[in-house]
Chains A and B, each alone.
Chain A
Amino acid sequence: MAIDKPYKKVPGTTIFDADMASLGFHLNQFCMSLMKAPNREKFKQNEQAYLDQWPMSDEQKAAVLARDYNKMISLGGNIYFLAKIFSSDGISFQAAASTMTGMTQAEYAQMMLSGGRAPDSSNTLKKDN
């Protein structure tokens, strides 16, 4: 019997469970390699060649090259691992987060200053769900 995964219904949210971790194993381990400065240099010199050393899918590699974080997450990337990519790019967590929301960085920063994204019926599950 399949395990119930009610968290899959939460709007705008991907929960990094064991299935996603299996799908994204090599993508996330590639990200970990960027913790070392010499690897960051190699990646910056030739991103495609560096990615080709990892047994990732072409779709995963394309998402990395495009810095499409929502796509990377849908292919098993976890945000704390993906953070190594935007850190290597010299981009802050807030700037990277904004790219996933369809907002500009300035709009996102202003939303956070104003108290963040408020929960409402469009972005949360109802109680009885």
Chain B
Amino acid sequence: MAKINAGIATSHVPAIGAAIDNGLTENEYWKPLFDGYEFAKTWMKAQKPDVILLVYNDHATAFDLNLVPTFAIATGAEFKPADEGWGPRPVPNVMGYPKLAAHIAQSVIQDDFDLTVVNTLDVDHGLTVPLSLMFGQPEQWPCRVIPIAVNVVLYPTPSGQRCYNLGKALRKAVESFDEDLNVQIWGTGGMSHQLQGPRAGLINKEFDNAFLDKIVSEPAALAKTPHLEYINLAGSEGIELIMWLIMRGALNDQVDVKKRFYHVPASNTAVGHLVLENK
């Protein structure tokens, strides 16, 4: 049986990817951030996941305004890093898992979560930066990845509750897959940040740290946080944090926190990171 054993949360700031790609991880600005991911890199080598369900958002890359799926699952065999306007990141192609992805789509759609099924998908920094943070710069990514894209660009985004419930449906889907697989689920994006308007640069350490507490200890209550609270207190782009709730919903109610890290700033953004194992 396939099983989700652990969850990762991490921000996915594009400048982090640029720092890795340009060999800047040891400089004064970036070193404190990358030090915060050393635990996860070592931990990951021992965990050896077979598949990652990687929850992220596309940033007007694969999905323009012609088509904006609220939730999408990528069922293709291989995904290329996207050219986001300055050439694709120099990272390996992402290998999918069509059989498991199709199984998940079949299961969760029949469970009332109407995911859009995507076959061809160029993946942007939202997906590739977390892979780089966890795995460094390998020739090939060490496991398969099923991208799950969430709309957080065009308002209204799905509710936190909807995301949390989708996590539970994903878990059920994985557990009904016949192969023995060690599966992880990652929730990416956030934490507080605002990239637009006169309020750009908003960072809310109090909100972020409360979120890091609650997503571990009281996720069901956290899932009820209304959109307005994220926008008002964590910035217009802080709404990305709803994607962490999909990850959390797929884990046990009780989890062990193997790592918690918080750092300000990465470019315009507060960076948060958790490594969670099912108890």
A residues neighboring B (CB under 8 Å): 6-7, 10-18, 21, 25, 28-29, 31-32, 34-35, 40, 69-70, 73, 78-81, 83-84, 87-88, 92-94, 97-98, 100-102, 108, 111-113, 115-119, 123-125
Chain A residue at minimal CB-CB distance from B226: A6
Top-10 shortest CB links A-B? A116-B203, A12-B199, A12-B198, A87-B85, A80-B60, A117-B201, A17-B155, A79-B196, A97-B200, A112-B265
Q: Which of A14, A21, A116, A118 contacts B196 (CB 8 A)?
A: A14
Q: Which of B66, B197, B203 has the most CB of A within 10 A?
A: B197
**Given A12-B198, A87-B84, 16 other A-B residues pairs in contact with their CB atoms under 8 A:** A7-B232, A10-B231, A10-B232, A11-B199, A25-B65, A28-B65, A32-B64, A34-B85, A35-B83, A35-B84, A98-B200, A101-B199, A108-B200, A115-B203, A115-B205, A119-B233
Task: Provide the B188-209 mask, 1 if CB < 8 A to any CB of A, else 0.
Answer: 0000101111111111110100
Does A97 lie within 8 Å of B268, measured CB to CB?
yes
> Contacts A28-B65, A88-B85 hold; do A93 and B198 have CB atoms under 8 A apart?
no
**In whole Å, how far is A30's beta carbon from the nearest beta carbon of chain B?**
11
Chain A residue at minimal CB-CB distance from B60: A80
Chain A residue at minimal CB-CB distance from B193: A116
Does A80 lie within 8 Å of B198, measured CB to CB?
no
Does A16 lie within 8 Å of B198, measured CB to CB?
no
- Interface range on chain B: under 10, 10 to 19, 20 to 34, or 35 or more? 35 or more
The binding surface of chain B is classed by DSSP as loop
Q: Which of A32, A35, A70 contacts B197 (CB 8 A)?
A: A70
Rounded to whole angstroms, the CA-CA distance of A23 and B228 in the bound complex is 22
Rounded to whole angstroms, the CA-CA distance of A90 and B153 in the bound complex is 23
Rounded to whole angstroms, the CA-CA distance of A79 and B155 in the bound complex is 13
Chosen A-B contacts, 26 in total, with CB atoms closer than 8 Å, are: A10-B232, A11-B198, A13-B236, A14-B196, A29-B65, A32-B64, A35-B85, A70-B197, A79-B237, A80-B59, A80-B153, A81-B60, A83-B59, A84-B60, A87-B84, A93-B268, A97-B195, A97-B196, A97-B268, A112-B201, A115-B265, A116-B203, A119-B202, A123-B202, A125-B228, A125-B232
